[in-house]
Amino acid sequence: MEGERDVIVVGAGPAGATTAVYLAQQGYNVLLLDRHQFPRDKICGDAVPAGAIETLTQLGMGDKIKQAVARGELYPLQGMLLVSPKGYKLEADFHKGKAGGDSYVAPRIYFDAIIQSYAIEAGAEFRQMQVTGPLLENGRVVGVKGKENGRSRDIRAKVVIGADGVTSAIARALRPKAEQHVDKHRAVALRAYIEGVEELPGRVEFYLYNEILPGYAWIFPTAPDRANIGLGMRLDHFRAKKKSLEEMLNAFLAMPDIKKRLKNGYELRDMATWQLNFGSQKGMQHVFDGALLVGDAAGFINPLTGGGIHNSIVSAKLAARTVHESLQKGDVSRAAMQIYERRCHNAMWSSMKRSYRFQTGLMSFPFLIDFFVKRMKANSGLAKIFLTKL
Ligand SMILES: Cc1cc2nc3c(=O)[nH]c(=O)nc-3n(C[C@H](O)[C@H](O)[C@H](O)COP(=O)(O)OP(=O)(O)OC[C@H]3O[C@@H](n4cnc5c(N)ncnc54)[C@H](O)[C@@H]3O)c2cc1C
């Protein structure tokens, strides 16, 4: 058994790597673990809102982001298009009015590597390890258990951060069984990359239509003729459909407005599905004696947009602040760190509640979407929400 760390972060996605940056910058001994070496892919729509970019820039990643944009890895966005079931269009320009800020379609193979490498530069140690669960003593988390280079290993830490995504081994072991996400607060989505699609003038496109509601299909450009394409829907509705997401994607590609934009010999690659846990389910525990959960491990995805990158980064900041205060006091019990749940609630709950209300109310009734989209047409308020939160 090796020496005790101040903090072990399990998972080096946006939530874990950002938490590691915050804590390493404050001089803590941070071990960042991931089952994959980086760069690595993550199934996602890759849309990164300006709010997330702003926080990463404040942390010192501005130059790395600019360099990635110059290499063509991150694709800057100008605006968005939302198409209603009857084909009404709502367009928004991201740089008009007060909206401002830069948002990107940032394939996660590049985006996550920016934060993970910056965490190492900030002083965190990164190792590839498959974590199997928390190391427990008298009901308290005192480290992690896992497999490294095929060997079992236990590593101790004063605090463990579970940032290991939707299938979190840390959350599964620590959360009471009754607190698993139920189907109406979960979604399933398919993502692919498409090459050979016409006219992608720097805007993200959302398609709402009867077959997919409550959910949507998207085309998010990664270059002038390439895009991240996919669709997702709430899990309970998906189960009732008895159709695969792949069949649904083919039906979307066959819609006349989409089909006419596909060039001869267009190609789909890297098609894969993954799950999303919404932040709209009440009463979830995120803090335990010696551990807390961030990002998708906690379940902070917006139930309307499916966006989770921004909230991962928000929760990382709140977790780092809480862990810092607790380490200073020498008390990492649930009682001492429980304020993290209150902070997350204050930062995200009203938006989760409102989004879920929209999802269950508006998104379930196609005629209502048509009505609103027809009336709103150009709306910079919508652009602002996208830009800051997604
Ligand atoms: C199809 C789809 C489309 C989406 N589109 C968008 C979008 O366009 N914009 C947006 O903002 N959000 C989107 N989301 C949500 C977004 O992907 C997540 O909210 C975000 O990735 C959460 O970041 P995270 O760091 O919490 O988790 P993750 O990004 O999942 O990172 C978790 C990390 O933990 C590692 N890990 C997992 N288990 C272990 C283990 N046992 N041991 C060690 N390491 C482990 C993984 O390898 C991974 O690197 C989408 C999600 C899906 C499924």
Q: 235: pLDDT confidence band, cut at 50, 70 and 90?
A: very high
CB 41 within 8 A of CB 194: no
The answer to which of 33-47, 150-164, 372-386 has the lowest mean pLDDT is: 372-386
pLDDT band at 275 (very low <50, low <70, confident <90, very high): very high
Residue 312 CA to ligand 1 centre (angstroms): 9
Mutate to test the pocket of ligand 1, among 309, 314, 386, 390 (most ligand atoms within 8 A of CB): 309
Note the pLDDT tens digit of each residue in 112-137.
Answer: 999 999 999 999 999 999 999 999 99
| Ligand 1 center from residue 4 Cα (angstroms) | 28
CB 202 within 8 A of CB 76: yes
Q: What percent of the chain has pLDDT over 70?
A: 95
Residue among 313, 385, 366, 344 at smallest CA distance from 119 = 313
Phi, psi of 77 (to 5 degrees): -105, 140
Find how far residue 107's CA is from the centre of its chain: 12
The model's pLDDT over 162-207, given as tens digits with 9 standing for 90+, comes to 999 999 999 999 998 888 899 999 999 999 999 999 877 889 999 9
Ligand 1 centroid–CA 42 distance in Å is 6
- Per domain, the residue ranges of the chain are 5-75+104-182+278-361, 184-276+363-388
How many angstroms does the Cα of residue 31 sit away from the middle of ligand 1? 19
pTM of the model: 0.96
Question: From start to end of 36-85, where are the E strands?
Answer: 47-48, 75-76, 79-83
Distance 293 CA to ligand 1 centre (A): 13
Which residue's CA is the closest to the ligand 1 atom numbered 51?
A: 44
Answer yes or no: is pLDDT of 23 > 70. Answer: yes
- The rounded distance, in Å, linking the Cα atoms of 79 and 50 is 12
Ligand 1 atom closest to Cα of residue 188: 53
Taking CB atoms and a 6 Å cutoff, what residues make up the pocket around ligand 1?
Answer: 10-16, 33-36, 42-47, 130-131, 163-165, 169, 189, 191, 230, 232, 274, 276, 295-297, 301, 306-310, 312, 390
- Hey, do 5-75+104-182+278-361 and 184-276+363-388 end up sharing a CATH topology, with the first three levels equal? no
pLDDT for the residue 375 = 80
CA distances from 265 to 196, 208, 228, 243, 262 (A): 7, 27, 17, 26, 8
Topology adopted by domain 5-75+104-182+278-361:
FAD/NAD(P)-binding domain (3.50.50)
Give the number of the atom of ligand 1 that is nearest the alpha carbon of residue 300.
19
CATH superfamily name and code, 184-276+363-388: D-Amino Acid Oxidase, subunit A, domain 2 (3.30.9.10)
